[in-house]
Structure 1
Amino acid sequence: MHTALRERAAEALFEANRTRQPIPPLVETYEDIDVTDAYEIQLLTVKKWLADGRIVKGHKVGLSSAAMQRQMGVNQPDYGHLFADQFYLENMPIPLDEHIQPRLEPEIAFVLRKDLAGPYVTLPDAIDAVAYVLPSLEVVDSRIQDWRIGIVDTIADNASGGGVILGGPPRRLEGLDLRLVGCTMYRNGRIVGTGAGGAVLGSPLNSLVWLANTLGRFGVTLEAGNVILPGSVMRAIDIAPGDRVTAQFGGLGSVTAVFAGNEGAAA
């Protein structure tokens, strides 16, 4: 794919994010686009956001569970960037008009105490780099019309990132088996899904290793203080104005996201 076409695709995604108007799938507009093109388009879009004043505060792994891969029709993980303006406070109304077609996923978030640089990161390296973990909810969103995405479109679209809500309390890894951490998610008091940490590449820590090594091949380091979202433990759910969603993680705590109603206040 020619550089000029990558630039055009990045500009289309940048404008879609700015105007909240989705665009057709890139695979329909650029017939020769592939995964390499998609990551280059993501980086071009990130450069535009950085020039616009946004600040990177971490990274996310998407499509790291079999459930999410089936839901989105893909067969491999991807990654994207987390920006400071995407972090919402727990229990504070989140305006849905900042998004296009949002969904919500529960994840076990990592906060790093030291830099982690691939491409030769091992599991012990990853464990040593983690300061603590937090229960979290990720708002996933798509700048592609009607979520008609495959792996190429979601990669180019910053791994369909939308927002992050962090809960508590912070927990160190000692004594925790993240594979066995169960999650129950409630929307407006009703159970809408369950999952466990083992759904994320066998363990969320494996996802962290994959991310560090994948980014390391491009010379990108996961930095101390970064928040890392390793992927959802269950299928994403749709959200609507006025919804209140809580994810309870066994042994970790909980996190609650409240979405503003049509009148602009939480229901």
Structure 2
Amino acid sequence: MTDARRDLARLLATLRRDSRQQSGLEPRLIPADKDTAYRIARMVEEELGVAVAGWKIAAAKEEMQKALRTDSPIYGRVFAPNVRPSPTSVEHARQCSPIPEVEYMARLGVDLPPRAKAYTIEEVTEAVASLHPGIELAECRFVHDAAFPPLPAILADGAGSGTLCYGAAIDDWRKRDIAGQEVVLSCNGVARRNGSAAAALDHPMVPLTWLANELSRTGIGLKAGQMISTGTLTGMLRPKAGETYVADFGPFGQVTASYT
């Protein structure tokens, strides 16, 4: 069992380094459950030897959980230097099943270390140094074909983590209607998707509080300076080479990411 976990961690680290995918996964390498998968994801971090600059959260609500075949939110590490200011670009040919997702991103101002008592949403909100509009450029190291492995393999791969592109900090965000603000995702100037935090997440601090408590429970914790992408507001779509995506958060600003 230990050998299989290490073998999977090494495979996933290699796929990340090489910016490539594979079809399917040997049955012996598929993690038995979520907890095992997350332990392997931590081993991938060790194999890469790269700092964790942030985290991604997905499946905050039931509708997205059904789409991703999970019964709870999920998370993954985002490695340096994949936390980038807007505008940014990535080479489409080196992206693995890319998906651009419009998200709010929170940068922590203080550590939220593991502890016995659960963090409250008020504590987590106070710990946030800044809130930003953003686009997550999600990826997956497994080809979406008939051999696509079950969810635990995806969690071991960081729940599809890729690159976080963030815009300027939102002024006085605690006093503004973050949940109710409509956001629009455009591709090459044509509106493709729209949504809001109220519909997708309730509020960005809700999934962030979930993550703080999940990482506290597992002895990892969150660190000051890390950027956390709190979940898609606009669903998932497939980009093509040459496309530029703009996430318009109205008075909260815009974010631009291109697939070259």
What is the distance in 1 between the residues matched to 2:169 and 2:71?
33
Which residue number corresponds to residue 212 of structure 1? Answer: 212
Q: Are residue 138 (structure 1) and residue 136 (structure 2) matched?
A: yes
Deviations 1:16-44 (A, max 9, x none): 22233323444845466211221111111
Whether the 8 Å contact between 1:199 and 1:234 is mirrored in structure 2 is no
The DSSP-based 3-state class of the residue aligned with 2:162 is: strand
167-176 or 152-161, larger mean C-alpha shift? 167-176
TM-score when normalising by structure 2: 0.90
What is the distance in 2 between the residues matched to 1:6 and 1:215?
20
The DSSP-based 3-state class of the residue aligned with 1:21 is: coil
What is the distance in 2 between the residues matched to 1:27 and 1:109?
35
Which residue number corresponds to residue 117 of structure 1? Answer: 113
What is the distance in 1 between the residues matched to 2:106 and 2:30?
37
Whether the 8 Å contact between 1:68 and 1:236 is mirrored in structure 2 is no
What is the distance in 1 between the residues matched to 2:213 and 2:31?
27
Number of aligned residue pairs: give it: 256
Q: Are residue 159 (structure 1) and residue 159 (structure 2) matched?
A: yes
Where does structure 2 lack aligned partners over 5 or more consecutive residues? none
The DSSP-based 3-state class of the residue aligned with 2:22 is: coil
Using the TM superposition, give the Cα deviation of residue 127 of structure 1 relative to its aligned residue in structure 2, in angstroms.
Answer: 1.2
The DSSP-based 3-state class of the residue aligned with 1:8 is: helix
The one-letter code of the counterpart of 1:132 is S
Whether the 8 Å contact between 2:53 and 2:83 is mirrored in structure 1 is no
Whether the 8 Å contact between 1:131 and 1:172 is mirrored in structure 2 is no
Aligned match of 2:56 in 43, 56, 60? 60
Which residue number corresponds to residue 73 of structure 1? Answer: 69
26-35 or 249-258, larger mean C-alpha shift? 26-35
Deviations 1:78-109 (A, max 9, x none): 11111221123423432223322211100000
Deviations 1:39-88 (A, max 9, x none): 111111111112xxx22112121222445334333332111111221123
Identity of aligned residues (%): 26
Where does structure 1 lack aligned partners over 5 or more consecutive residues? 261-267
Whether the 8 Å contact between 1:65 and 1:231 is mirrored in structure 2 is no
The one-letter code of the counterpart of 2:258 is V
What is the distance in 2 between the residues matched to 1:26 and 1:64?
27
| CA-atom RMSD in angstroms | 2.1
User: Per the alignment, do residues 96 and 222 of structure 1 end up closer, same or farther by CA in structure 2, a change over 3 Å counting?
Assistant: same
Q: Are residue 106 (structure 1) and residue 105 (structure 2) matched?
A: no
What is the distance in 1 between the residues matched to 2:80 and 2:9?
20
The DSSP-based 3-state class of the residue aligned with 1:158 is: coil
